[in-house]
Amino acid sequence: MKQKVYSIDGKELRDIELDDTVFGLPQNEAVIWDAINNELANRRLGTASTKDRGEIHGSNAKPYKQKGTGRARRGDKKSPVLVGGGTVFGPKPRDFSYSMTRKAKRLALKTILSLKAQNDMIKIVEDFSVGSGKTKDMVKILKNFGEQQRTVLIFKDHEPSKSPDDAENVALKATSMLVRRSGANIPWLSFLGYDRLSAHELFYGRRVILTETAVKSLNTFYGAKSEGE
């Protein structure tokens, strides 16, 4: 399928081809749910902890005699039914994370991209930089593509594996740093690299903006000819 490429002023420039195996898939709600649930589970710290009666600090002595008082029998003051006592079956530190197959994860991301494309929620913009690194300049650019709403900006980030002396990589790194800096204080804007997509961020984004280079990289990285497909 073809999509319009816009300038940062919101003017149409040219058409770009979107790979149908990335942006033209049918809806698959199950795999999307799996991917989002997996991401949220992997983010959980799992540090919640409570003390049972064996961990509460206090005396093990019987508070009063067993019989003759008319009161309920007590073994010690750390009983769960007393204020300050232990917790019964409370949470303990645990690992909530689990793995998801690479194939299913990639399918989920491509399905979400297809969903956004089919609902006209994707805008493709020419590669740009915010030279000043100021928030107001980024907001000005975003206003050209609609009202303020939850937005995801996908671009081609620099490649850390490349040589630090590579001039192209140095320039790309400087550009991505300025773009991220200019949008760091915008609460409704998030940034994603084309090869580090998040199903949660993508799905709940009301608008997805892709740079022209990111689209080409997505076509290659997630396309039918990519490794593992």
Per-residue pLDDT tens digits for 37-88:
999 999 999 999 999 999 999 888 999 999 999 999 999 999 999 999 999 9
From 53-67, 100-114, 176-190, the region with the lowest mean pLDDT: 176-190
**Structural contact between residues 5 and 125, judged by C-beta atoms closer than 8 angstroms:** yes
Please count the structural domains in the chain.
Answer: 1
- Mean pLDDT taken over the chain: 88
3-state helix, strand, coil in the chain (%, to 5): 35, 15, 55
**Does residue 90 lie within any of the structural domains?**
no
For 86, the token pair is 């232990």
Q: 167: pLDDT confidence band, cut at 50, 70 and 90?
A: low
**Structural contact between residues 74 and 64, judged by C-beta atoms closer than 8 angstroms:** yes
Q: Which residues of 123-142 are buried (b: 16+ CB within 10 A; e: fewer)?
A: bbbeeebbeebebebbeebb
Question: Angle 21-26-27 (CA atoms, 0-180°, nearest 5)?
Answer: 125
For 149, the token pair is 């709403």
**Structural contact between residues 41 and 98, judged by C-beta atoms closer than 8 angstroms:** yes
**Does residue 175 lie within any of the structural domains?**
yes
pTM: 0.81
Q: Evaluate if residue 132 carries a pLDDT over 90.
A: no
**Does residue 71 lie within any of the structural domains?**
no
**Does residue 110 lie within any of the structural domains?**
yes
**Structural contact between residues 157 and 117, judged by C-beta atoms closer than 8 angstroms:** no
pLDDT at 147: 85
pLDDT at 115: 93
Give the containing element (helix H, strand E) for 169: helix 167-183
Q: Evaluate if residue 157 carries a pLDDT over 80.
A: no
**Does residue 214 lie within any of the structural domains?**
yes
pLDDT at 32: 96
Distance, in Å, from the CA atom of 83 to the CA atom of 58, rounded to the nearest integer, reads 13
Task: Name the phi and psi angles at 214, rounded to 5.
Answer: -65, -40
Across 172-183, average pLDDT: 80
**Does residue 148 lie within any of the structural domains?**
yes
Across 154-169, average pLDDT: 63
| Domain span at 130 | 2-31+101-221
Handedness of CA 153, 156, 157, 160 (dihedral sign): positive
Q: Which residues pair with 16 in a beta bridge?
A: 3
Whole-number percent of the chain with pLDDT over 70: 90
Q: Evaluate if residue 162 carries a pLDDT over 90.
A: no
The CATH number assigned to the domain holding 210 equals: 3.40.1370.10
**Does residue 61 lie within any of the structural domains?**
no
* C-alpha closest to that of 152 among 104, 188, 106: 188
Distance, in Å, from the CA atom of 121 to the CA atom of 123, rounded to the nearest integer, reads 7
**Does residue 57 lie within any of the structural domains?**
no
